Amino acid sequence: MKKTFLTLTFTLVVVLFAATMCIAQTNDQYKVQIEKINKESTAAMISGDTEKSMSFYATDVISLPNYDKMVEGKDALKKSNEAMTKAGWKVASFEPVTLKVTSCGNTITEIGSYKISFTVQGMPKPVEDVGKYVTIWEKQADGSLKIKVEIWNTDKNPMEQKM
């Protein structure tokens, strides 16, 4: 009886360890996949390729931009991005850094930081910013990932900048 209990305990520990390793490997694989998408997305953003930029989003995406209202749906997000472009916003550089990736089922959460430089029509010099973000990705039937929810905000306190 004691030997059976020890065998079962050992087997359970081995199975749990193996499952944990499998999850870690999957998260590492998702991180590589996300970093590749982030590079492609950054290139599209800088070149102003709205169609390519939108290809990374789920149809029912929710975007929670810094200092702006929530945007729901891919069409609304596209209109929001086009309005920014028409208003004279242009991204000069964007450097996302994926810090942590966790997954559960078909949902993958990315936590990261960013550095961005953009120009705004009428401003004498580019705006530089640093901040953090959370992106929730949804795994598609074909294995690709689409952005389901995104939120970001600056590390700079605007009240301190005014003082």
DSSP string, 135-158: EEEEE-TTS-EEEEEEEEEESS-H
According to the model, what pLDDT value does residue 123 have?
Answer: 86
Q: What is the pLDDT of residues 47-70, one digit of tens each?
A: 999 999 999 999 999 999 988 999
Q: Decide which of 29 and 157 is more confident.
A: 29
With 70 as the cut, is the pLDDT of residue 21 above it? no
User: Strand 57-64 vs strand 145-154: parallel, antiparallel, or unpaired?
Assistant: parallel
With 80 as the cut, is the pLDDT of residue 7 above it? no
- Distance (Å) of CA 4 to CA 1, 11, 34, 67, 78: 5, 10, 44, 61, 61
Q: What's the domain range around 44?
A: 2-162
With 50 as the cut, is the pLDDT of residue 40 above it? yes
According to the model, what pLDDT value does residue 157 have?
Answer: 77
CA–CA separation, 85 and 44 (whole Å):
13
Pick from 8-22, 111-125, 147-161: least confident: 8-22
Q: Secondary structure of the chain: what % helix, strand, coil (to 5)?
A: 40, 40, 20
pLDDT band at 16 (very low <50, low <70, confident <90, very high): very low
According to the model, what pLDDT value does residue 142 have?
Answer: 95
Contact call for residues 118 and 124 (beta carbons, < 8 A): no
Q: If residue 62 lies in a helix (H) or strand (E), which one and from where to where?
A: strand 57-64
With 70 as the cut, is the pLDDT of residue 117 above it? yes
Contact call for residues 88 and 72 (beta carbons, < 8 A): no
Q: What is the pLDDT of residues 120-155, one digit of tens each?
A: 888 899 989 999 999 999 999 999 999 999 999 999
For residue 136, give the CATH number of its domain: 3.10.450.50
CA–CA separation, 119 and 123 (whole Å):
7
- When divided into structural domains, the chain yields a total of 1
Q: Nearest to residue 33, comparing CAs of 122, 152, 163, 143? A: 143
Q: What is the model's pTM?
A: 0.81
Mean pLDDT confidence for 72-101: 95
According to the model, what pLDDT value does residue 61 have?
Answer: 98
Percent of the chain with pLDDT strictly greater than 90: 69
CA–CA separation, 133 and 153 (whole Å):
7
